[in-house]
Amino acid sequence: MKGFIYLIEIAIVAIIMTVILSVFFSIRIKQDWERAEIVSIGENILKSIKNNKNSFLNILNENFTDIELSRPQNIMYGLKVLGSPKSNIFIGCTLNCDYLDNLINPSYSYGTVFVNGRWINFTVDAFDMDYGIPPYDVVVLVNYTKYYNSTINSYIDDYLKNGGVIIGINATQSSTDINFNNTFNLTGGSGPFSGTINFTFYNSSEDEIAKYFFGIGVEAYSNWTIWEQNWIVDYWGTNKINITNSLNPTDIRTSLKEGDVFNIQDPDSNLYYFKVKKMWYPQRVEFQILNKTFVFRDFSERNAKGKNIVGYRNYAALTTNNSAIWISDFPTSSEYISLLKAAILSRVDEWTAKYAITPREKTTLSSFMSLCCDMPENAEIYLTLWYQV
């Protein structure tokens, strides 16, 4: 009898083990199958984006229609882009906002920046710094002087720590303004007057401001100011322009059309070359900057240095401290405006298009996308997927 009961116990244990193992392996098989399916879905979505430039541009415009049409209804997604700015950038401003808006957004402009075949727009919004900093893509502070205020300084620090971008455009402050100097990592600097200044390096792996500067070029309307010298722009028909030096009417370039290359003298009396990149008759034309050894008239104060991006030896006109950028105050000229735009773009080309917030198990895939041809723009898209139910 005892032997019979023992056999029954063994049988029961065997049945229990069989049930447990079958449940375990069914769960494992289901999990493996679900992951394989979701990876396949993600790869197909990324492939369709990669094969269609407009799909990628739609993502940069924060239009996800193509993804919505490709995904099954029970699959949710998040999206992150590294290496290419979104097409609509919101800029917070707390002082001299009309000046900033007119500087980067002329009223007759089609958009703020045209590069690699697409428009990137800047929207300037005024806010009161006394109440903190809203989550703008960038905050540009023009001639702002309240860095010394401990409350405001804490707002700036918190905004930077949370991934924000601060660009300060002003004269360097007094050496006693410790908060200002700490924000932009500035110390005293001086050097002999050189007449012109340059980018200190052109390595985009260290900083991308120069890359964006040469990529976006400089814009002109009825007038073009370059090196603080005015040129008159005459639109000839729908596809040609003449440009004339306003101080020397015999200094003229005629019948320029898209793709044409021309030269003018830089402040050091060297010939400098530009290309007519794009024309929008009868209001706007874009000139591509061709010489990497571009010179700026010295707009620095020659009394500050940091991580110099534009400057001369031991003083700077533009410095970077990670996502805090300081630019010395400048006169109105197209190269300085492009430098400001390049500084903005260089710090907003890693962004989350759609957040992936879920307690469920997620799978992330990535793929590289490319745009051309004004500058190299190789972006990486991170697509995160999960089952809704």
pLDDT at 6 over 70: no
pLDDT at 109 over 80: no
Q: What mean pLDDT do residues 334-358 have?
A: 96
Q: What mean pLDDT do residues 92-98 have?
A: 96
What is the average pLDDT score of the chain? 90
Q: What mean pLDDT do residues 248-256 have?
A: 97
Q: Which pTM value belongs to this model?
A: 0.89
pLDDT at 16 over 60: no
Residue 245 belongs to a domain: yes
Q: What mean pLDDT do residues 108-121 have?
A: 88
Q: Are residues 12 and 41 in the same domain?
A: yes
Q: What mean pLDDT do residues 7-19 have?
A: 49
Write the secondary structure of the chain as one string of H (helix), E (strand) and C (coil): CHHHHHHHHHHHHHHHHHHHHHHHHHHHHHHHHHHHHHHHHHHHHHHHHHCCHHHHHHHHCCCCHHHHHHCCCCEEEEEEEECCCCCEEEEEECCCHHHHHHHHCCCCCCCCEEECCEEEEEEEEECCHHHCCCCCCEEEEECCCHHHCHHHHHHHHHHHHCCCCEEEECCCCCCCCHHHHHHHCCEECCCCCCCEEEECCCCCCCCCHHHHHHHHCEEECCEEEECCEEEEEEEECCCEEEEEECCCCCCEEEEECCCCEEEEECCCCCEEEEEEEEEECCCEEEEEECCCCCEEECCCCCCEECCEEEEECCEEEEEEECCEEEECCCCCCHHHHHHHHHHHHHCCCEEEEECCCCCCCCEEEEEEEEECCCCCEEEEEEEEEEECC
Q: Are residues 316 and 195 in the same domain?
A: yes
Q: What mean pLDDT do residues 40-65 have?
A: 94
pLDDT interval class at 23 (50, 70, 90): very low
Q: Are residues 319 and 306 in the same domain?
A: yes
Q: Are residues 272 and 182 in the same domain?
A: yes
Residue 174 belongs to a domain: yes
Amino acid 35: pLDDT: 83
Amino acid 33: pLDDT: 64
pLDDT at 296 over 50: yes
Q: Which domain holds residue 12?
A: 2-82+351-368+380-387
Total structural domains within the chain:
2
Residue 255 belongs to a domain: yes
pLDDT interval class at 21 (50, 70, 90): very low
Amino acid 90: pLDDT: 97
Give tens-digit pLDDT for 302-327: 999 999 999 998 999 999 999 999 99
Q: Are residues 61 and 201 in the same domain?
A: no
Give tens-digit pLDDT for 156-178: 999 999 999 999 999 876 556 89
